[in-house]
């Protein structure tokens, strides 16, 4: 295992998210890493990050960070429209990369990014954080019971207040030139990835989008019907609203031939289910967390209760240090992007059925 030197670009909301997590992991000795560089267009914000992380290189120029021989891993945490240029430069300099989701605003750019990372043979992880969700990981294990039959349908509702306000304060998300689009790409690419996790490859989609807030090209309502190659189906509703005291919320219901599963949280929380002619069961949040930690080989909670803020960075940095491929990676993100792109194409064609791939 080797030590990892980190350079982080983008000191906004999501950059703070990763910075807190990485510093916690370093402090607890869970990863052998150190901050060596931070970058933000806002010099004051970059300097503030530099003070917190102890980074020696503090800059407003991303190319200076990427080109630094001290940097092994580049974290890309800028608005979506800026991802491609930074990832391509990092791959060209043979730096390992963690890029926040979505990888880019357009599918063609995502394909180019993935090809560049593959050609450079760098480790490339993506911020599909729900792949490390304790509640979803345990739920997936529960659904692998062969006696419950095939997945018939998944019903997924995802809502949060429009993230240009409140604690998100991501003003750029209302600007389609920075975000690419709205709630489907920027938020529910997570949900599409989760639905692929549970349902497998998607064969066809039908979609619709709408814009109640009237931010040009940035939808705040998206719906999608998906049909899996396995025969199962899924319905997705993604909403950005203005109910400011409501936390970001996801509800997922999975109907199998002989079972029903349901959750009302996306990371921590209880799992309800019922099989065959048995009584309903609720697996408590404490049991879910304990099962998850056992599954990943970490009895007890070495994260000190900071699971949500540490897991994806823990797994990414640990894999890079071992010279192994991280998960989730760019290839997995590409598959989710293909589904999202098909949903948009369907929406722009008045809900026409579109094949994925």
pLDDT in tens, 225-268: 999 999 999 999 999 999 999 988 999 999 999 999 999 999 99
**Superfamily covering domain 130-299+336-348:** Dihydrodipicolinate Reductase; domain 2 (3.30.360.10)
Q: What is the pLDDT of residue 301?
A: 72
Under the banding of pLDDT at 50, 70 and 90, the label for residue 306 is low
299 has pLDDT over 70: no
Q: What is the pLDDT of residue 357?
A: 78
Beta bridge partners of 38: 8, 58
pTM: 0.95
C-alpha to C-alpha distance for 283 and 273, rounded to whole angstroms: 8
Q: How does DSSP classify residue 247? A: P
Q: What is the pLDDT of residue 42?
A: 95
- CATH 3.30.360.10 range(s) for the chain read 130-299+336-348
Contact 103, 71 (CB under 8 A): no
1 has pLDDT over 70: no
2 has pLDDT over 90: no
Q: What sign results for the dihedral spanned by CA atoms 146, 199, 154, 306? A: positive
Range 108-116 average pLDDT: 98
C-alpha to C-alpha distance for 353 and 342, rounded to whole angstroms: 9
What is the three-class DSSP state of 233?
strand
168 has pLDDT over 90: no
Under the banding of pLDDT at 50, 70 and 90, the label for residue 71 is very high
Over the stretch 45-70, which tens digit does the pLDDT of each residue have?
999 999 999 999 999 999 999 999 99
Torsion angle in degrees (nearest 10) through CA of 104, 105, 110, 116: -50
CA atoms within 13 A on the CB side of 86: 30
Six token digits for residue 304:
């000190």
Residue with tokens 């026409």: 352
Instruction: List the helix and strand counts (H, then E) for the chain.
Output: 12, 15
What is the arrangement of strands in the sheet containing 57-59, beginning at the earlier edge strand?
Answer: 57-59, 33-39, 4-9, 73-76, 96-99, 124-126
Q: What is the pLDDT of residue 304?
A: 67
- CATH 3.40.50.720 range(s) for the chain read 4-129+323-327
Range 274-292 average pLDDT: 95
Over the stretch 120-166, which tens digit does the pLDDT of each residue have?
999 999 999 999 999 999 999 999 999 999 999 999 999 999 998 88
- At the top level of CATH, the class of 4-129+323-327 is alpha beta
C-alpha to C-alpha distance for 234 and 254, rounded to whole angstroms: 9
Residues 6+ positions from 219 with CB-CB distance below 8 Å: 181, 182, 183, 184, 209, 210, 211
C-alpha dist (Å) from residue 53 to 11, 18, 38, 174: 12, 11, 9, 30
74 has pLDDT over 90: yes
Please spell the DSSP secondary structure of 258-307, one letter per residue.
Answer: TEEEEES-SSSS-EEEEETTPPPEEE-HHHHHHHHHHHTT--S-TTTT--
Omega before residue 102 within 30° of 0, cis? yes
Please provide the average confidence, as pLDDT, over all residues in the chain: 95
Over the stretch 5-54, which tens digit does the pLDDT of each residue have?
999 999 998 999 999 999 989 988 889 999 999 999 999 999 999 999 99
Direct distance between the N- and C-terminal alpha carbons of the chain, in angstroms, rounded to an integer = 38
Over pLDDT 90: what percentage of the chain? 86
Contact 326, 121 (CB under 8 A): no
Q: How many CB atoms lie within 10 A of CB 167?
A: 9
């Amino acid at each position: 295992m080797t030590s990892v030197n980190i350079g982080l670009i983008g000191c906004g909301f999501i950059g703070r998210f990763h910075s807190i997590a990485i510093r916690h992991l370093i402090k607890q000795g869970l990863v052998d890493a150190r901050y060596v560089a931070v970058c933000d267009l806002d010099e004051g914000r970059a300097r503030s990050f530099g003070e917190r992380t102890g980074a020696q290189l503090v800059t407003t120029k991303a190319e200076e960070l990427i080109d630094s021989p001290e940097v092994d891993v580049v974290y890309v945490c800028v608005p979506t429209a800026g991802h491609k240029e930074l990832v391509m430069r990092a791959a060209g300099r043979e730096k390992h990369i963690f890029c926040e989701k979505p990888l880019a605003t357009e599918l063609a750019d995502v394909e180019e990014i993935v090809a560049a990372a593959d050609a450079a043979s760098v480790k490339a992880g993506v911020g599909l954080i729900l792949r490390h969700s304790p509640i979803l990981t345990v739920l997936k294990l529960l659904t692998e019971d062969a006696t419950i039959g095939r997945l018939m349908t998944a019903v997924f509702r995802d809502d949060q207040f429009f993230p240009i306000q409140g604690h998100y304060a991501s003003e750029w998300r209302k600007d389609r030139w920075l975000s690419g689009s709205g709630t489907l790409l920027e938020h529910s690419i997570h949900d599409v990835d989760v639905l692929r996790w549970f349902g497998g490859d998607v064969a066809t989609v039908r979609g619709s989008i709408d814009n109640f807030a009237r931010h040009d090209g940035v939808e705040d309502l998206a719906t999608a019907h998906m049909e899996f190659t396995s025969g199962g189906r899924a319905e997705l509703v993604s909403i950005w609203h203005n109910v400011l005291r409501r936390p970001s919320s996801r509800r997922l219901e999975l109907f199998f031939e002989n079972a029903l599963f349901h959750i009302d949280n996306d990371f921590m929380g209880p799992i309800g289910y019922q099989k065959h002619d048995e009584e309903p069961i609720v697996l408590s949040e404490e049991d879910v967390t304990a099962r998850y930690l056992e599954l990943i080989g970490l009895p007890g909670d070495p994260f000190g209760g900071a699971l949500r803020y540490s897991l994806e960075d823990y797994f990414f940095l640990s894999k890079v240090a071992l010279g192994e491929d991280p998960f989730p990676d760019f290839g997995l993100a590409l598959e989710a992007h293909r589904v999202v792109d098909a949903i948009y194409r369907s929406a722009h064609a008045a809900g026409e059925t579109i094949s994925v791939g």
